Chains A and B, each alone.
Chain A
């Protein structure tokens, strides 16, 4: 059981790290602001979610696990709001490259 949970952690955290790498590559390589926004906001929140779910089997108390999920939800909501605001401000002035 312990081994299975450890393997789950390794798989999920590795996938989260991969998505962070994809987000960074997108942020550096994509041609304009809106595509970079697209790359960063979706992929990073997915990476953070995978890392949080990978860490859940490793925490000692249930309260800590609950806190992990709460932090993930906060970052998720704030990421959604901020990405909408950035897109709005960019659209208002017309797309730039």
Chain B
């Protein structure tokens, strides 16, 4: 097995782990848990893209990884900044609303 196919396999594995982590969005129960899942997509997605960029020898994918990391941060900060104004909306369960 060449190092390239190993890196593609590793990218697929990390992607599978991120996909499994999405189940937490469905199960909740609080919005904080759903934001945690977004964090997982952020760090896991960056790892997948970096693995792909090295495996495919296509460096521009690194810029995509950079943007994904940045946007995942902005999503969380925007959501949590909003939640600071009305903290019950943030930690309340879906059934409360």
Q: Taking beta carbons and an 8 Å cutoff, which residues of A are in contact with B?
A: 6, 9-10, 13-14, 16-17, 20-21, 23-24, 27-28, 33, 36-37, 40-41, 44-45, 47-48, 51-52, 55, 58-61, 64, 67-68, 70-71, 74-75, 78-79, 81-83, 85-86, 89-90, 92-93, 96
Contact = CB atoms under 8 A, between A and B. Distances in A.
Contacts of B87: 89, 92-93
Q: Is the interface of A mostly helix, strand, loop or mixed?
A: helix
A67 B63 CA distance: 9
Contact of A93 (B14, B59, B90): B90
Given A13-B51, A52-B50, 11 more contacts: A17-B13, A23-B21, A28-B24, A37-B32, A44-B39, A48-B47, A71-B62, A78-B73, A81-B73, A92-B91, A96-B30
Size class of the B contact interface (CB-based, 8 Å): 35 or more
A4 to B, nearest CB: 12
A43 B43 CA distance: 10
Contacts of A20: 13-14, 17-18, 44, 47
Contacts of A79: 39, 42-43
A14 B14 CA distance: 10
Given A36-B33, A75-B69, A13 B7 contact: yes
A19 B20 CA distance: 14
A49 B14 CA distance: 14
A70 to B, nearest CB: 8
A93 B46 CA distance: 31
Contacts of A60: 57, 59
Nearest to A44: B43
A27 B21 contact: yes
B91 A55 contact: no
Smallest CB-CB A-B distances: 4 pairs:
A78-B73, A93-B91, A82-B76, A44-B43
